[in-house]
Amino acid sequence: MAALELDKLSWPEVEREIAAGRDTVVVAFGATEQHGPHMPLATDALIGDHFARELAERLSGFAAPTVRIGCSSHHLGYPGTISIADETFHAIVADVVSSLATGGFRRAVLIPTHGGNFAPLAAALEKLGDDPGIEVVALTDLTVLLEVAQLGATEFEVPLERGGLHAGEWETSMMAAIHPELTDLDAAEPGYVGDLESAIGRLFEGGVRALSENGVIGDPTAASPEHGRLYWDRALDLAVEQIDAQS
Q: Per-residue pLDDT tens for 7-21?
A: 999 999 999 999 999
| CA 155/CA 135 separation, integer angstroms | 36
Q: For residue 100, is pLDDT > 90?
A: yes
User: Contact at 8 Å (CB) between 55 and 236?
Assistant: yes
Closest CA to 80 of 193, 201, 215: 215
204 or 104, which is more confident?
104
- The pLDDT assigned to 203 comes to 84
* pLDDT tens per residue, range 137-195: 999 988 777 888 889 999 999 999 999 999 999 999 999 999 999 999 999 999 999 98
Q: For position 1, what pLDDT does the model report?
A: 64
Query: CA-CA distances (angstroms) from residue 211 to 17, 83, 118, 205, 222?
Result: 48, 19, 21, 11, 21
With both helix axes pointing from N to C terminus, report the angle between 169-178 and 43-59 in degrees, rounded to the nearest 10.
Answer: 70
Give all domains of the chain, ordered by start, each with its CATH number.
4-246 (3.40.50.10310)
